[in-house]
Amino acid sequence: MINAAATAAMDGTADRPPVERRRRLTPAALAVANQKVGGAYSPIVIAGAVRLVDFVMLSLIGIALYFGYVVRLGGFHWEYASAIVAMTATAVICFQAADIYDVDVFRGQLRQMTRMVSSWAFVFLLFIGASFLVKLGSEISRLWLTTFFFVGLAALVTERLVLRSLVRNWARQGRLDRRTIVVGADENGAKLVEALNIQEDSDIHMLGVFDDRNDDRAMDTCGGSPKLGKVDDIVEFARRTRVDLVLFALPISAETRILEMLKKLWVLPVDIRLSVHTNKLRFRPRSYSYLGEVPTLDVFEAPITDWDLVMKWLFDHVVGFLILLAALPVMGLVALAIKLDSPGPVLFRQKRFGFNNERIDVFKFRSLYHHQADPTATKVVTKNDPRVTRVGRFIRKTSLDELPQLFNVVFKSNLSLVGPRPHAVQGKLQSRLFDEAVDGYFARHRVKPGITGWAQINGWRGEVDTDEKIQKRVEFDLYYIENWSVLFDLFILLKTPLALMTKNENAY
């Protein structure tokens, strides 16, 4: 009876899906992590977008007024159009010189308005002076010039009022904040937190501090910020909530401790800096980056940020959509073949590692018999695996089973066309999970995973049955992250079809 119950219990355990390992956080850390936080907006991208809007808006106003008045009376002249573009470009340059392309300035009103009006007036005075010097003053319509000045100024003021409202709303939502955690809950940490908190117009949002020490040197509250846990908790904490900056308050002399912590934290897609506000040793000013008045040394930077992120998003969605349109007929034929070959759904979803270790659902064509499906990929598909259907063997060999992931790229935005391949959350090398087999494995998740990648076109795809195969994948993935560019993505994408035909010996 006991043996039967034990056997039944063991069978029940075997049928259950494996439980994912998650580090337990402190109540204080959970309270912060459970707060709803939106994604961050890049101040650099916002400022760049405003420059572009200014240029396009002023150019269109000048040209519209020119066609509406001057052309009707004296015909079209390219000199006018060239002058309008030159004036608009000069205006943007003057606005930049007046330092009004800054998110903090966008939040205000009087300061940016006075600078903008004076800069816009300077552009027109400059244009009038240049026209006088080249003796073209009599040929320029004074009515057009006056109207352009006042209509352009009204448009700029209206635009800035709308922008001010948007920026303030984003600030309330925390989208412009740099969510920061400090490592070191001692006197140095307290001084650092206080120095950051007293700064006006700072974008630093202090979440809390982390420290491994449990003796009197570690405070429960550091400069008004709570201690959230130990350094080992930071990776799990950053996975559950948005963290933009990790700031070490430890002195440079604590080199050994800092290196040990960096080995744990470099896998995060965040900026990591070392504060030097309490160090007596001083370097040249150019060696530092500043958080307000607080000097810091850059240790690691988040990969693919600001305009790079915009370019990659555009590349994924524009090129991805075109590839999806071209692939639809092939996907239809594959779906029909799967349906005729074996019973069950055509598509299935599988849990994979996404950006920053988030769990995402990835779409694939079904290649296994439905009754032997393995949604968590706990058992790696091997050569001559009896679970694989006849059609499944072909689409896995040719990677056609990956085509539905274009839906992830174009519509869900949780995959890129190019990036480290998203491994299954229960992917194993023999009895070890991948992150147990390779140091720094999670560093490959500092960017979005991709349908294809640098490792795949170099032959590291398919079954993972040796240490070398998983280590090489991670090595190539990290190289891709450190050397990313749009041209690199394009090169990998163009080379993928050839790699699928010539380097598929490990794909079963």
pLDDT in tens, 374-429: 666 666 666 777 788 888 888 888 888 899 999 999 999 999 999 999 887 777 66
Gap between the Cα atoms of 324 and 403, Å rounded: 8
Beta-sheet pairing, 289-291 with 271-275: unpaired
Gap between the Cα atoms of 1 and 77, Å rounded: 100
Residue 184 DSSP class: -
Based on the number of CB atoms within 10 Å of its own CB, is 396 exposed (0-12), middle (13-18) or buried (19 or more)? Answer: buried
Residue 119's contacts (CB-CB under 8 Å, 6 or more residues apart) are 91, 94, 95, 97, 98, 100
Q: Is 303 in a helix, a strand, or coil?
A: coil
- Cβ(392)–Cβ(368) under 8 Å? yes
Residue 274's contacts (CB-CB under 8 Å, 6 or more residues apart) are 247, 248, 250, 252, 258, 296, 297, 299
How many CB atoms sit inside 10 A of residue 316's CB?
23
Q: Number of helices and strands (H, E) in the chain?
A: 18, 14
Instruction: Show the DSSP H helices in 295-356 as ranges.
Output: 306-341
Low-confidence ranges of the chain (pLDDT < 50): 1-19, 508
Gap between the Cα atoms of 349 and 344, Å rounded: 13
Q: Which amino acid is at 138?
A: S
Based on the number of CB atoms within 10 Å of its own CB, is 302 exposed (0-12), middle (13-18) or buried (19 or more)? Answer: middle
Q: Is 432 in a helix, a strand, or coil?
A: strand
How many CB atoms sit inside 10 A of residue 202's CB?
17
| Per-residue model confidence (pLDDT) at position 243 | 94
Residue 366's contacts (CB-CB under 8 Å, 6 or more residues apart) are 338, 344, 345, 346, 347, 348, 373, 389, 392, 401
Gap between the Cα atoms of 221 and 144, Å rounded: 64
The pair of structure tokens assigned to 351 is 């849990």
Handedness of CA 50, 51, 55, 61 (dihedral sign): positive
How many CA atoms lie less than 13 Å away from 196 in the CB half-sphere?
Answer: 31
Q: All domains of the chain, ordered by start, with CATH?
A: 24-38+177-300 (3.40.50.720), 43-173 (no CATH), 306-502 (no CATH)
Gap between the Cα atoms of 198 and 29, Å rounded: 24
Closest to 163 in 3D by CA, of 50, 48, 38: 50
Gap between the Cα atoms of 97 and 89, Å rounded: 12
Q: Is 440 in a helix, a strand, or coil?
A: coil
Q: Is 46 in a helix, a strand, or coil?
A: helix
Task: Please identify which residue in the block is written with the tokens 């694989």.
Answer: 388
- Cβ(451)–Cβ(409) under 8 Å? yes
The pair of structure tokens assigned to 130 is 């240049």
| Per-residue model confidence (pLDDT) at position 241 | 92
Closest to 320 in 3D by CA, of 87, 488, 493: 493
Cα-trace Rg, the chain:
29
| Per-residue model confidence (pLDDT) at position 108 | 76
- Cβ(159)–Cβ(62) under 8 Å? no
The DSSP secondary structure of 214-251, one letter per residue, reads -STTS-SEETTEEEEE-GGGHHHHHHHS---EEEE-S-
Residue 70 DSSP class: I
Q: Kindly report, residue by residue over 108-156, the tens digit of the pLDDT.
A: 777 778 889 999 999 999 988 887 776 565 567 788 889 999 999 999 9
- Cβ(503)–Cβ(461) under 8 Å? yes
Beta-sheet pairing, 204-210 with 178-183: parallel
